[in-house]
Chain A
Amino acid sequence: MKRITTTPRNNWQSAVEELGFGFHTTDVPYWDESVYYEMEMDEILLIEKATAELWELCLGAVQHVIDNGLYEKFGIPDWIVPQVEKSWTEDHPAIYGRFDLCYKNGQVKLLEFNADTPTSLYEAGIVQWFWLQDFAKNNDQFNSIHEKLIAYWKYLQNYLNPGTLHFSCLKETLEDLTNTEYMRDCAIQAGLDTKLVFIDDIGWDDDTKQFLDLENQPIQNIFKLYPWEWLLKDAFGQQIPEDSNRAFWIEPAWKMILSNKAILPILWELYPDCPYLLPAYFEEGKLADYVKKPIFSREGANIDLVMKNLSLQKTEGIYGAEGFIYQELFTLPNFSGHYPVIGSWIIGQEPAGMGIREADNLVTDNLSRFVPHLIK
Chain B
Amino acid sequence: MKKSKLVELALITAALASCNEPKKDWDDNNKVHLRSDTTAPYTTVHHYNGGGLGTALLWYYAFRPYGNYSNGAYQRAGYYSGGIGHFSNVGTNGFKGSVARGGFGRGGYSVSS
Q: Is A163 an interface residue (CB 8 A)?
A: no
Is the beta-carbon distance between B85 and A144 smaller than 8 angstroms? no
Q: A212–B2 Cα gap in the complex (Å)?
A: 40
A264 at the interface (CB under 8 A from B): no
A147 to B16, alpha carbons, bound, how many Å? 21
- Determine if B111 and A117 form an interchain contact, defined as CB atoms under 8 angstroms apart: yes
A207 lies within 8 A of B98 (CB): yes
Asked whether any CB of chain B lies closer than 8 Å to the CB of A375, the reply is yes
| Contact A171:B47 (CB < 8 A) given known A200-B104, A216-B99 | yes
Does B42 reach chain A (CB closer than 8 Å)? no
Instruction: Say whether A44 faces chain B, with CB atoms less than 8 Å apart.
Output: yes
A175–chain B nearest beta-carbon distance, Å: 6
Flag if B113 contacts A236 (CB, 8 Å): no
In the assembled complex, the Cα of A23 lies from the Cα of B47 at a distance in Å of: 19
Smallest CB gap from A147: residue in B = B4
CB distance from B28 to the nearest CB of A (A): 12
Smallest Cβ-Cβ distance to A137: which chain B residue: B3
A234 and chain B: residue at smallest CB distance = B104
Q: Which residue of B lies closest to A27 (CB)?
A: B24
Contact A234 B106 (CB under 8 A): yes
Q: Check if B91 is an interface residue, CB within 8 A of chain A.
A: no
Across the interface, which residues of B come within 8 angstroms of A203, CB to CB?
99-101
CB of A55 within 8 Å of the partner chain: no
Smallest Cβ distance from A292 to chain B, in angstroms?
Answer: 19
B15 CB contact (under 8 Å) in A122, A181, A205, A298: A181
User: Which of A20, A23, A117, A208: most chain B Cβ within 10 A?
Assistant: A20
Assess the B82–A171 pair: CB atoms within 8 A. yes
Chain B residues near A214 (CB, 8 Å)? 82
Which residues in B have their C-beta under 8 angstroms from that of A199?
104-105
B48 nearest CB across to chain A (Å) = 10
In the complex, the chain B residue whose C-beta lies closest to that of A178 is B16
Q: Which residues of B contact A200 (CB under 8 A)?
A: 47, 61, 82-83, 101-102, 104-105
- Contacts A170-B105, A198-B82, A230-B107 given; indicate if A119 touches B112 (C-beta within 8 A): yes
**A172 in contact with B57 (CB, 8 Å):** yes
Closest CB of chain B to A45's CB: distance in Å? 8
Q: Is A118 an interface residue (CB 8 A)?
A: yes
Provided the pairs A22-B17, A189-B10, A375-B1 are in contact, do residues A236 and B47 lie with their beta carbons within 8 angstroms? no
A148 to B, closest residue via Cβ:
B2
A86 CB to nearest B CB, Å: 20
Q: Is A176 an interface residue (CB 8 A)?
A: yes
Q: Are A23 and B21 in contact (CB under 8 A)?
A: yes
| CB pair A185 B82 closer than 8 Å | no
8 Å CB contact of B47 from A98, A147, A172, A366: A172
B12 interface hit (Cβ, 8 Å): yes
In-complex Cβ contact of B82 among A201, A205, A226, A299 (8 A)? A201
- Indicate whether A202 sits within 8 Å of B101 (C-beta atoms), given known contacts A22-B17, A171-B47, A235-B85: yes
Interface residues of B in 61-113 (CB under 8 A from A): 61, 82-83, 85-87, 97-113
Residue of A nearest to B15 (CB): A181
In the assembled complex, A177 has its CB within 8 A of some CB on chain B: yes
Collect the chain A residues with CB atoms within 8 Å of residue B102's CB: 200, 235
Q: Could you show 15 A-B contacts with beta carbons less than 8 Å apart?
A: A117-B113, A126-B9, A169-B111, A170-B109, A171-B61, A174-B20, A182-B9, A188-B10, A189-B10, A200-B105, A207-B97, A212-B99, A234-B106, A235-B87, A236-B103
Q: Enumerate chain A interface residues (CB-CB to B < 8 A).
A: 17-23, 26, 41, 44, 48, 98, 114, 117-119, 122, 126, 129-130, 140-144, 146-147, 169-178, 181-182, 184-185, 188-189, 198-208, 212, 214, 216, 225-227, 229-231, 233-237, 239, 298-299, 353, 366, 375
Top 7 nearest A-B pairs by Cβ distance?
A230-B107, A236-B103, A200-B105, A20-B16, A201-B82, A235-B86, A200-B82
Task: Contacts A175-B110, A202-B103 known; list 13 others, CB within 8 Å.
Answer: A20-B13, A20-B17, A141-B3, A171-B105, A172-B47, A172-B49, A198-B82, A206-B99, A207-B98, A226-B107, A231-B104, A234-B107, A235-B85
